[in-house]
Amino acid sequence: MRLRLTEDAASDLDGIKTFSEDVDVSLAARIVGQIGNVLSLLKRYPHLGHEGLRPGTFEMPVPRLPIVIVYRIDIGAREEELVVLRVYHIRQDRAA
């Protein structure tokens, strides 16, 4: 399965990394690494997440972090693609 981040998801990850680096550089590396671990797991087992708030989406919490990954699975002619739509802090407003 192929993994693709939308521009919004890439921006979310950059924001999480930047905010975390302001607190502690080693903390930022651990957070980004943990998110990467979950994305790798989802590539192998995309149905691990639960049904998302919006139809056709899934959500996967990042263990030990207040972060949730929102994604969908696109089925193409050649292969499936895991499309990461957003990476949210759990307290973040997700209405937009």
14 domain-assigned:
yes
Average pLDDT over residues 63-74: 95
Q: How far is CA 89 from CA 3, 4, 9, 36, 78, in A?
A: 21, 20, 12, 15, 33
CATH number at residue 76: 3.30.2310.20
83 domain-assigned:
yes
95 domain-assigned:
no
Q: Which domain holds residue 16?
A: 2-89
Q: How confident is the model at residue 89 (pLDDT cuts 50, 70, 90)?
A: confident
Burial letters 25-38, b for 16+ CB under 10 A, else e: eeebeebeeebeeb
9 domain-assigned:
yes
38 domain-assigned:
yes
pLDDT in tens, 5-57: 999 999 999 999 998 888 888 888 999 999 999 999 999 999 999 999 999 99
pTM for the model: 0.90
Q: How many of the other CB atoms lie within 10 Å of CB of 83? A: 17
96 domain-assigned:
no
Domain count, the chain: 1
56 domain-assigned:
yes
Task: Supply the pLDDT for residue 79.
Answer: 83
